[in-house]
Amino acid sequence: MKDKNFDPNMLKQVAGAMSQAFTESSASKARDQKMVNELTSKVDSAATVTCDSCGHHIFENGMVLKRFSAVSSPTGQEVVVPVEVFKCAKCSHVNEEFLPSYAISDIKKFDMNGLPTY
């Protein structure tokens, strides 16, 4: 039994389009893999950041919370805004390079050796 709605030319067009899509997808995956390989080789040669306090090399996310009064807030209401920082996973120290000056300008303190404490 033949289907009157079947068009062999349409089937060829759809198959061609699918083949082209798969080919483009494969090319895209190959480009992505090449980028990953290049990035990996560059990361291998990059310097590892370590904690300025204990020398550990693993960091985790931390936050400094800044409170804006209703007067200074753009919404007219008190707002608390998080500022993300990285802290050492071992001793919780935050390297100065990870702590934006605007995040602690009102609380920055120094120890007896003149070193910043956070």
- At 48, is the secondary structure helix, strand, or coil? coil
- Percentage of the chain beyond pLDDT 70 is 78
What pLDDT shows up at residue 58? Answer: 97
What per-residue confidence (pLDDT) applies to 13?
73
Mean local confidence (pLDDT), 66-87: 89
Q: How far apart are CA 66 and CA 81, in angstroms?
A: 5
42 versus 85: the higher-pLDDT residue is: 85
Report pLDDT for 60. Answer: 96
Residue with the larger pLDDT of the pair 81 and 27? 81
Mean pLDDT over each residue of the chain, to the nearest integer: 81
pLDDT surpassing 80 at residue 70 = yes
Residue 80 and residue 65 in contact, taking contact as beta carbons nearer than 8 Å: yes
pLDDT above 90: residue 93: yes
Where in the chain are the domains? 7-46, 59-117
What's the pTM? 0.54
Residue 53 has pLDDT above 90, yes or no: yes
DSSP 72: T
Report the alpha-carbon distance of residue 85 to residue 49 in Å, rounded: 14
